[in-house]
Amino acid sequence: MTPGLSAADIDALLPQTQCTRCGYEGCLPYARAVVSGEADINQCPPGGAETIGKLAALIGRTPKPLNRANGVEAPPTVAFIDEERCIGCAKCLPPCPVDAIVGARRRMHTVLAEICTGCELCVAPCPVDCISMIPRASVADIAAQLPPPDESRARYAARNERIARRAAEKSARLAAMKSAARLPTGNA
């Protein structure tokens, strides 16, 4: 690996879809694996040949074809929810890495297409198969390309911080309840 190369250098070149198709939990873990030599530079289907070329140039290696085991390169997509079929189960909300799906339990959900990274992580959890992936270019009023990587990275980080904060708050509440349950009542 190139001396002085960091995971942030690699991460800066990735599309920030957080799709996990590379085999890692997101773009930064994949970048860390590339820097450590654990992963190759050709595992990002959303980035495709362009990203592979940029990574190869950064690292000083020859570009190689996308590893088909990770998927195929295709035009950017966006999730679409068939609102007639949506039952409001909310199972699509937790997997969305950039909070591009909005809705409430037992209410119809929709996708904020302009910020959807096309990761496809919302498709599998849907029990009624009302989510499909469509080409971004076919959706009016949004860019045909993926959202800017810096914006997607910031939304992903904010989501992860919110989840961690809520988990810490829940843990603190549970600890307080357990502590209160163990206090002597004073009636001995």
Instruction: Kindly tell me if the per-residue pLDDT of 154 is higher than 70.
Output: yes
CA distances from 172 to 158, 160, 184 (A): 21, 18, 20
User: 139, 146, 132, 141: which is closest to 83 by C-alpha?
Assistant: 132
The model's pTM: 0.86
Distance (Å, rounded) from C-alpha 159 to C-alpha 91? 16
Instruction: Give the tens place of pLDDT for each residue, 114-130.
Output: 999 999 999 999 999 99
CA atoms within 13 A of residue 113's CA, in its CB half-sphere? 20
The pLDDT-based confidence of 88 (bands split at 50, 70, 90) is very high
Q: Domain 8-70 belongs to what topology?
A: 3-methyladenine DNA Glycosylase II; Chain A, domain 3 (1.10.15)
Instruction: Give the tens place of pLDDT for each residue, 9-28.
Output: 999 999 999 999 999 999 99
- CATH code of 75-174, in short, is 3.30.70.20
Give the mean model confidence (pLDDT) for residues 68-84.
Answer: 95
| C-alpha of 67 from chain center | 20
Residue 181's pLDDT is what? 83
Q: Where are the domains of the chain?
A: 8-70, 75-174
Residue 116's pLDDT is what? 97
| Stretch among 9-18, 32-41, 102-111, 129-138 having the lowest mean pLDDT | 102-111
